[in-house]
Every structure is written in C-alpha cells, then in structure tokens.
Amino acid sequence: MKIITLNTWVGRAGRDPFFAFLEKYRRDTDVFCFQEIRSAPHEHSQGVLAGGVAVNENIMAEGVQEISERLSDFVAFFHPQLLENYGLMMLVKKELLVKEHGDVFVHKHRGYIPEGDIGKHARNIQYATLDISGKPFTIINFHGLWNGMGKTDTDDRIEQSKNILNFTRGLKGDFVLCGDFNLLPDTESIRLLEQSGLRNLIKEYGVTSTRTSFYTKPEKFADYVFVTPSVKVADFAVLPEEVSDHAALMVEVEV
C-alpha cells in the first residue's frame, strides 16, 4: 500500500503543478492525505492572516471539489478544522474497503474560532480504518497546531501529542500517522510519539528537510510519517516535485 501526505499550502504554489502532481502519482497511490484544503472561500477573508500569510485570490478555494473531480477513482473524506470549510482531506482508492472513518479534535474543540490570525484554529486528526484481508489497518492524517511561536515545544503542543496517543491507544491493528506536525525533530512533542513505540521514518531514513524552495525560513522540518513497530516499510521518500512550500512524503508499506 502506497500513501502520500502533503500540506498543499492551499494551492499557493500553482494549480497546474499541483494537478500535474496528482495525475503523475494517482495510479500507484492507494491513499492521499492532504492538509490545508478548502471546500469554499471564507467570506470577507481577502488579506486576512492565516498562519502568518495573507489570504488572497491565489488560493484553491474549492479544493475538495476540484481534487475529488480529478481523483474520481478515489473515495474522498473531508474533515474541517475551521468554519466547516477548511481542514483535512483523505482520498482512498475505491477498491479498498473502509470500515470506519472520522475525526477527533486534539487541540481546542470543534467549532472553535480564534481571535486575530485564523491560523490559530482548532486541530483534529482524521482517520480511516481499512479492512486488509480481515485485519484492521488505520491511516491517520494530521496538521499540527500553529501558534506563531516557531516549531518548538509549548504546553499546548505537548498536550496535543498526548491527545493523539490517547486516540491511537484505542486502535486495533497497525497504523500510519502522517502529516504536517509543525514541529522540529528534537522536541518533546515528537519524543512523546517515539517513546510510545512509534517509528519515526524521517529519523530512520536520515531525511534532512521536508520543505521546498518556496519556504525561506531556516527550519527545514515540519512533516513526519510514523508507523507502528510491526509495519513493514517497503519504501519511503521525500518526493522531488515542488507543488507547495512543503515536500510531499511517500511511504509504501506491506499489508
């Protein structure tokens, strides 16, 4: 099973390159996990700050609809984090059997609307449990909180990691946890996940950056893939296409 995770940057790097990326990888990919996806424009949002970046006409305001149309051989699941129209999107090949799917909030709560920069919104994890030869296998899509304080530890980030682990402890079978964590590798927030027994593939494979040339700040880490210890990883890579300020990550697991 091949999984690709990408923070789309709401399409700011260009729609044509992004959709060319989808077309290139759709045939060999079983699950796409996307962060920063919209299903509708925010009213009166022109120039509003979101994660320190102004909202403008270059964003992909109806990403859910456009991606679903192009990936018609996938089942699309969208779980918003803000105003019911911005959040996480997972697409699963139609031939795979999804037994359960949903989301759980791990920072703030559903419906929370921040004051000031809307990037400080609530955060959830999106999950889909597949039936693979009678055994459950879960994919978890995540976009960690942004607070304008870099990618270091804060109390709310540590609590966020603990909330993720509270959810995963209730899962049956193996799982993959992936996405944009907004964290540096040496944080306690990341160590909590590692100390629970999860394998950090960014560390295992010696990845030196998960960002593209669109990102000009010095920190070169934000995105991660974690797997349970018994998952057999056949391949893992940072994909070369620059379709966001984040690089896409690909993991292939034997199931």
Q: Where are the domains of the chain?
A: 2-254
Residue range 197-204: mean pLDDT, rounded: 99
Q: How confident is the prediction for the chain on average, in pLDDT?
A: 94
Q: What is the pLDDT of residues 84-128, one digit of tens each?
A: 999 999 999 999 999 999 999 999 999 999 998 889 999 999 999
C-beta of residue 34 within 8 angstroms of C-beta of residue 89? yes
The answer to whether the predicted template modeling score (pTM) of the entire model surpasses 0.75 is yes
Please determine, for residue 162, whether its predicted confidence score (pLDDT) is greater than 60.
Answer: yes
* Domain 2-254: homologous superfamily in CATH: Endonuclease/exonuclease/phosphatase (3.60.10.10)
